[in-house]
Amino acid sequence: MKRKRFIILILLIIFLGVVTSYYLHSKNEEKYNKILSSAEKFEKDGEFEKAEELYKDSLKLKNNKVVSSKLEDINKSKENLKKLEQVEPIVKENKFDYALGSLNAIVDNSTYVMDKVDGKKQEVIKLKSEYEELIKKQKQEEEDRKNREAEEQAKQNAQIKQNASVNNQKNNSATSNSAKTTSNNSKSKLNLNIPYYPPINKAYISWDKAVYIAVEDFLNKNPNLTQNDIAFYDEYGSTTTVDGSYWITICEASTKKDLSRYEIQPTCGGCVAKIRTP
């Protein structure tokens, strides 16, 4: 009888041990699952520090290769987030292609990280497009500015050329007027004191008029000489026409060296027909 009671007691103790062990195991399993659930939620939301801490706590309850792999993924995700932050200074330097290359090199098992990477890619692509449009606009504005400057310079050059032409015309007119004035002054200053010899034909000018024309033309063409520097005589020793013309020779007053020979046409008021140099 005693032995039977002892056996029953042993069985009861074993049963209680099994029940207690099962209860404790269930409690630990429930706690473990809650820890994993919270860790996975933190990991999904990108709170990797909290997720990492919970995963490590779960390993204290149960060794799990999947959890160890998740810890490796979290470490990689944290590194990739740092790489993502390093892209920002590159973007600020307008190195968009280099930034996109860095982003394309990031591969992660975390949806949170990859969403961040994709969002950054879209941002960089948009900034690149805006920057290229800005550069294009600036180049166009610079080209337009240069074209306007070239047009303005062309207008100024045309105006300068026109002004120069007008000034040349004025100068030529002034020179012509000056020459006329000089000629008139020369005429008024000539005082040859030549006696008058009537022409052989009423349609002819007189010999003294022919001399006057020759001397005036010579002095106008030789402004360095004056009336006192020259003398004149009829080439044929006559005061009348020979072969239908007057022949006047201009010479130096001091040496009597011939300087120029004039053939003066006597008709139509008189004019220089030919000039010969000795």
What per-residue confidence (pLDDT) applies to 143? 92
Query: Quick one: which of 112, 106, 114 has its CA closest to 40?
Result: 112
* pLDDT values of the chain reduced to their tens digit, one per residue, 278 residues: 667 776 766 766 776 666 565 554 555 678 788 888 898 899 889 899 999 999 888 888 888 888 889 899 999 999 999 999 999 999 999 999 999 999 999 999 999 999 999 999 999 999 999 999 999 999 999 999 999 999 999 998 898 888 888 877 777 666 555 545 544 444 446 777 787 778 878 788 888 888 899 899 999 999 999 988 999 888 777 777 777 788 899 999 899 899 999 998 888 778 888 888 87
Q: Report whether 224 contacts 218 (CB < 8 A).
A: no
Overall domain count for the chain: 2
Residue 55, burial from CB neighbour count under 10 angstroms (0-12, 13-18, 19+):
buried
Asked whether residue 163 is domain-assigned, the answer is: no
Asked whether residue 89 is domain-assigned, the answer is: yes
201 with 150, same domain: the answer is no
Q: Which residues span the domain enclosing 269?
A: 197-276
Tokens at 252, concatenated: 């130096």
Q: Which residue's structure tokens are 């074993």?
A: 14
Domain boundary among 154, 182, 215: 154
150 with 44, same domain: the answer is yes
221 with 149, same domain: the answer is no
Asked whether residue 184 is domain-assigned, the answer is: no
Q: Is the pTM of this model over 0.85?
A: no
Check residue 245 and report its DSSP letter. B
